Amino acid sequence: MGMDSLIGGTIWDEYSQKVTDLMNNPQNMGEITEEQANEMGAKLIVADFGAESCGDAVRLYWAVDPKTDVILESKFKSFGCGTAIASSDTMAELCKGKTVDEAVKITNIDVEKAMRDTPDTPAVPPQKMHCSVMAYDVIKKAAAQYKGVDMESFEEEIIVCECARVTLSTLREVIRLNDLTTVEEITDYTKAGAFCKSCIRPGGHEEKDIYLVDLLEEYEKEKMATAADASASGANLDFAQMTVVQKLKAVDKVVDDNIRQMLIMDGGDMEILDIKENGVNFDIYIRYLGACNGCASSSTGTLFAIENILREKLDENIRVLPI
Amino acid sequence: MNVYLDNNATTIVDPQVFAEMEPYFVQKYGNPNSLHAFASDTHPGLKTAMEKIYAGIHAPKEDSVVITSCATESNNWVLKSIYFQYILTGRKNHIMVSEVEHPSVIAAAKFLESLGCRVTYLPVNSEGIVEAHTVRDNITDKTALVSVMWANNETGAIFPVEEIGEICAEHNVLFHTDAVQAIGKIPVDIQSFNVDYLTFSAHKFHGPKGVGALYIKKGKELIPLLHGGSQMGGYRSGTLNVAGIVGMGKAMEAAVDALDYEMTDIREMRDTFEDELLKIEDTFVVTPREKRTPNTILISFRGIEGESMLWDLNRAGIAASTGSACASEDLEANSVMEAIGAAEDLAHTAVRFSLSRYTTQEELDYTLKVVKNAVVRLRGISSSYAYAPEGHESGLDAHH
C-alpha cells in the first residue's frame, strides 16, 4: 500500500509514448500473401498464438529467404488491447532482417524494452507485461513451423514466470539458498510474480503447470523430510530446525529422562501443553499435576531446574511457563 | 467534441443540485447535532432533503432511509449485519446473491463465505436476467437473506424483484435489492412490492459522489456497521454529510421529475442509436431492450477487444466503458458476458454505452460516426479478420 496505490488510476497513464504511438499507428500491421512471398522468392510462414476467448491473439506473417534463413518481411495482425497491438508491432519490427535462429532469441523483455521511452521507465504497467509474452511465443511458433520442429524445442528451460522470464531452476535455487517462505520474498529476489501474477497460484489470467506456491510447498516439504530423516537416523538435530511434533517429542524425552522421576518422588508430576515460537524464544507451556500443583517451589526452584535442564539439553532460548 | 456515455459509472452533477449544496460549505457549515444556531441553520435544508428522498422511493415515514457514504457501504452493511444477527448466532446459515451483483455484494458475500456462511450465487439466463424460480429452487428454512439487484449496471437488465420479493415473503426470508441503477431510470416504489432493504447512490442520478443510502423497513432493523456518536438515529454514526444529503434530496427530486423523459425520450434516442450500431456487421447486444433500463446498451463488436474500442473512442473524446469501472484495472473478461454464456470469443469484446438526460442527439450522431471508423480501423488490425493462406490451421480459437 501507500499513497500511490490508494487512489488507483488508469492503466493508460502508464503506457509509454511509444506504446501509445504504435497503438494509434501500428507500423508493421498487415498481411503477407502467398503471392507476395513468392515474388520475394521467400517462404511464407503464418503463425497464430493466443485466443480471442483469452483476450488476446496474434497472427504473425514472415517471408523467409529459404537460402539464408533471413526474415525478409514481417507483419502482424492482432486481437487485443493497446499493449497487445503495440507489442506485436514491436516484435514484428525486431524480427526483420534477422535469421530465424536469431529471431527465436528475441524475448518478451526485449520487446518491452524496445517500447520504453527512457531506459529505466517500464513501457507498460505490471499487469500488461503479459501482453508482450504473446509476442515472444508467436515467434517460437513461427520458427517451429519454418524448421518443422516442435515449439517447445526452443525452450531449453521451463519458464515459471513468463513476464519476467524466470526459470524453474533459478526459482528452486533462489528459494533454497535464501530460505524463502513467502511469494513476496520470491518476488523481491527474482521479480517472478510481480507482473500479471498468473504464476503465483491457480486461478489467474493463465493456467500453468507449476506455480510459485507449489515451489514454496515443495521446499517446505523438503525441509520437513530432511528434519524427519535426521531425527530418525538419531542425528543431533538442531531444536530450532525441528517440526512442532519433533519439538514436542524431544521435550517429552528430556522431561522423561531427567525431570519426571524427581517430581514423582515428591508425589507430583507435570504435563506439556504447548510449544510456541515467540521471537527467538521457544515458550513451553506446562501444567503441574498432583503435589506439584500449588507447591511454592513450582514457580521458583523446581521451575528453574526444569528450564535449565531443557536449555542445556535442547536450546538455550527455551522458556518454561507454568499455567 | 467531448461526449460522456458512461452514465452507469457516474453522472454529471445537475447544476441545480450543485447550487442547493453550495451554501452548506461556507455559510451553513454547522454540525447539525450541536446546540447553537449554526447547527439549527442546517436543519430546514436537511429536513426538506430527507422528505424528497423518502418521496422519491415512496418510503413511509415510519421506515428508515439511512444516509451512508456510498452504495458499497449500504450493500456491505446489509450483508454483514445479517451475518452478525442471523449467521453468527446460528439461527440461519445461508444467503443468496445473484452472480452478476456489483462487487460490493459479491466480495462481501465471499467474505461471509470465508467466515462459514453458505452462499448461493444465483445464475442468469441467456438474456442476462436472474429468473425468480432460481430463488425458490434454492431457498431453505436456514436462508437468512436474498440480495438481488434491481437493474444490472453492465447490461441494464431489469430483474424480477417483485416476484423475488414475493417468494422471500412466502418463506419469511429477508430481501435486499441494490437499486443503484434503477433510481432515475425506472419507477421505484418500495410500497408496491415486498422489499426489506434497498440501496441507492446519489452520484448515479446527477447528485454528488460520497452519498449513498439504505432503505430499511420498520421491524427489519440492522445493527450498525459504524459505531460512534449515534447520528442517523444510532443506525450509522458519523457527522452528517449535510451538503451531500441536501444534494441527494435535490437530485432525487430532479430524477423523479425527469423520469418520464428518461422512459420516453432517452429510450427513443437509445433505441435509434442501438439500431444504427447493430447495422454494423458482426455486432451483438446483450438483453432484449424492453427488458433493460432505458439508457443502457452493452454491445459486442466481434474481433475488437473492448479496451481497444475504448482507446479509439477516447481519442475522439468519447467516454464509454467495457463494463464495470471497478474492473478496469484487471485483465479479466466482462463477467456478465461470461455469466450469460456468450460465445467465448466475444467475452472480451463488450462495450457499454450509457446515456443520461444530458445526452444529446448530436452527441450520439458523432459517436456513431466515430464507432464506425473505429470498427474499420480495429478490425483492420485484428487477427480475427486476417488473411490466412489456404490450408492454414488457425489456433486462435483455442485456449492457451
Phi and psi for B29 in degrees, rounded to 5? -100, 10
Hey, which residues does B127 pair with through a beta bridge?
none
Residues B91 and B109 in one domain: yes
Q: Which of residues 57-86 of B touch A (CB under 8 A)?
A: none
Residues B251 and B283 in one domain: no
Note whether A230 and A239 are within 8 A (CB): no
Beta pairing, strands A71-79 & B64-68: unpaired
More reliable by pLDDT, B384 or A205: B384
CATH for A134:
3.90.1010.10
Residues A29 and A146 in one domain: yes
Beta pairing, strands B212-216 & B197-201: antiparallel
pLDDT at B209: 98
Note whether B345 and B306 are within 8 A (CB): no
Q: A209 contacts in B (CB within 8 Å)? A: none
Note whether B55 and B250 are within 8 A (CB): no
Question: What angle, rounded to 10 degrees, do the helices at A168-177 and A212-232 form?
Answer: 50
Distance of CA B31 to the CA centre of its chain: 31
Closest of A152, A136, A143, A149 to residue A50, by C-alpha: A136
Residues A97 and A222 in one domain: no
Given the C-alpha cell 538435530, which residue does it identify? A237
Q: A5 contacts in B (CB within 8 Å)? A: none
- Return the residue of A nearest to B338 by Cα: A53
More reliable by pLDDT, B110 or B126: B110
SS3 B71: helix
How do residues B241-262 score in pLDDT, each as one tens digit? 999 999 999 999 999 999 999 9
Tell me if B154 is assigned to some domain: yes
Given the C-alpha cell 449485519, which residue does it identify? B81
CATH for A295:
3.30.300.130
Distance CA A34, CA A219 (A): 52
pLDDT at B399: 42
How do residues A228-253 score in pLDDT, each as one tens digit? 777 776 666 788 888 888 888 888 88
Residues B252 and B265 in one domain: no
Close Cβ partners of B312 (under 8 Å, ≥ 6 residues apart): B370, B373, B374, B377, B378
Close Cβ partners of A2 (under 8 Å, ≥ 6 residues apart): none
Phi and psi for A285 in degrees, rounded to 5? -90, 130
User: String of b and e for B237-251 (b: at least 16 CB within 10 Å)?
Assistant: eeebbbbbbbbbbbb
pLDDT at B88: 95
Q: B6 contacts in A (CB within 8 Å)? A: none
Distance CA B71, CA B171 (A): 27
**Confidence class of residue B329 from pLDDT cuts 50, 70 and 90?**
very low
Put simply, the answer to whether A50 touches B400 (Cβ < 8 Å) is: yes
pLDDT at B333: 60
Residues B210 and B305 in one domain: no
Of A10, A34, A80, the CB nearest to B389: A34
Residues A101 and A139 in one domain: yes
Q: What residue numbers bound the domain in which A118 lies?
A: 3-153
Residues B127 and B72 in one domain: yes
Tell me if B278 is assigned to some domain: yes
Residues A49 and A139 in one domain: yes
Residues B288 and B237 in one domain: no
- The three-state DSSP-derived secondary structure of B283-307 is EEECCCHHHECCCEEEEEECCCCHH
Rounded mean pLDDT, B156-162: 97
Residues A9 and A130 in one domain: yes
Nearest 5°: the CA angle B136, B139, B142 is 160
Residues A10 and A126 in one domain: yes
Residues B215 and B343 in one domain: no
Question: Could you say which DSSP state residue B99 is in?
Answer: T
Nearest 5°: the CA angle B371, B372, B373 is 90
Domain boundary among B239, B257, B275: B257
Q: Is A131 an annotated catalytic residue? A: yes
Put simply, the answer to whether A59 touches B332 (Cβ < 8 Å) is: no
- Residue A280 distance to chain B (closest CA, Å): 32
Tell me if B331 is assigned to some domain: yes
Note whether B285 and B298 are within 8 A (CB): yes
Q: Is A295 an annotated catalytic residue? A: no
Hey, which residues does A48 pair with through a beta bridge?
A59
Note whether A258 and A270 are within 8 A (CB): no
Distance CA B313, CA B1 (A): 11
> Can you read off the three cell numbers belonging to residue A208?
500453468
Residues B247 and B215 in one domain: yes
Distance CA A290, CA A298 (A): 12
pLDDT at B334: 65
Residues B289 and B236 in one domain: no
CATH for B299:
3.90.1150.10
Domain boundary among A204, A236, A268: A236
Q: A52 contacts in B (CB within 8 Å)? A: 303, 344-346, 348-349, 384, 396-397
Interface test with B, best of A13, A73, A79, A134 (most B CBs within 10 A): A79
Question: What is the percent of chain B where pLDDT is above 90?
Answer: 88
Of B311, B332, B386, the CB nearest to A59: B386
CATH for B221:
3.40.640.10
Distance CA B211, CA B10 (A): 12
Tell me if B388 is assigned to some domain: no
SS3 A170: helix
Close Cβ partners of A223 (under 8 Å, ≥ 6 residues apart): A241
> Can you read off the three cell numbers belonging to residue A209?
503447470
Distance CA B250, CA B264 (A): 22
> Can you read off the three cell numbers belonging to residue A285?
507451556
Residues A94 and A69 in one domain: yes
Beta pairing, strands B197-201 & B3-4: unpaired
More reliable by pLDDT, A158 or B176: B176
Rounded mean pLDDT, B141-153: 97
Say which amino acid occupies A244: V
More reliable by pLDDT, B323 or B187: B187
Tell me if B393 is assigned to some domain: no
Note whether A29 and B381 are within 8 A (CB): yes
Distance CA B346, CA B322 (A): 12
DSSP string, B30-52: --TTSSSHHHHTTHHHHHHHHHH
Distance CA A103, CA A69 (A): 10
- Return the residue of B nearest to A33 by Cα: B389
Torsion, Cα A110 A115 A120 A125, to 10 degrees, reads -100
Residues B153 and B211 in one domain: yes
Domain boundary among B195, B222, B257: B257
Interface contacts (A, B; CB < 8 Å): 110
Interface predicted TM-score (ipTM) of this complex, two decimals: 0.86
Put simply, the answer to whether A79 touches B383 (Cβ < 8 Å) is: yes
Residues A168 and A29 in one domain: no
Tell me if B400 is assigned to some domain: no
DSSP string, B318-360: EE-BSS-GGGTTS-PPPHHHHHTT--GGGTT-EEEEE--TT--
How do residues A263-298 score in pLDDT, each as one tens digit? 888 888 888 889 988 888 899 999 888 877 777 777
Domain boundary among A153, A178, A204: A153
Tell me if B153 is assigned to some domain: yes
Residues B107 and B182 in one domain: yes
Distance CA B363, CA A151 (A): 50
* pLDDT of B332 over the 60 cut: no
Domain boundary among A153, A173, A204: A153
Q: B328 contacts in A (CB within 8 Å)? A: 10-11
Q: What is the number of residues in chain B?
A: 400
User: String of b and e for B175-191 (b: at least 16 CB within 10 Å)?
Assistant: bbbbbbbbbbbbebebe
Phi and psi for B94 in degrees, rounded to 5? -145, 140
pLDDT at A115: 96
pLDDT at B327: 39
Q: What residue numbers bound the domain in which B305 lies?
A: 3-9+260-382
Residues A252 and A125 in one domain: no
Put simply, the answer to whether A52 touches B311 (Cβ < 8 Å) is: no
Residues A228 and A298 in one domain: no
Phi and psi for A291 in degrees, rounded to 5? -65, -25
Residues A148 and A163 in one domain: no
Q: How many domains does chain A have?
A: 3
* pLDDT of B330 over the 70 cut: no
Q: B330 contacts in A (CB within 8 Å)? A: 127
Domain boundary among B257, B284, B309: B257
Tell me if B229 is assigned to some domain: yes
Residues A36 and A114 in one domain: yes
How do residues A29-61 score in pLDDT, each as one tens digit? 999 999 999 999 999 999 998 888 777 899 999
Hey, which residues does B3 pair with through a beta bridge?
B318
Count CA atoms within 13 Å of residue B67 on its CB side. Answer: 27
Question: What is the percent of chain B where pLDDT is above 70?
Answer: 94
How do residues B376-399 score in pLDDT, each as one tens digit? 999 999 999 999 888 887 767 544
The alpha carbons of chain A give a radius of gyration, in whole angstroms, of 31
> Can you read off the three cell numbers belonging to residue A296?
511454592
Active site residues of B: 326
Of B348, B381, B384, the CB nearest to A85: B381
H helix intervals, chain B: 15-21, 23-26, 37-40, 43-57, 71-82, 103-114, 132-138, 161-170, 242-257, 259-261, 267-278, 306-315, 335-339, 361-381
> Can you read off the three cell numbers belonging to residue B16?
441545480
Q: How many domains does chain B have?
A: 2
Of A11, A52, A59, the CB nearest to B345: A52
- Residue A81 distance to chain B (closest CA, Å): 5
Q: Which of A91-95, A186-190, B148-152, B290-294 has the lowest mean pLDDT?
A: A186-190
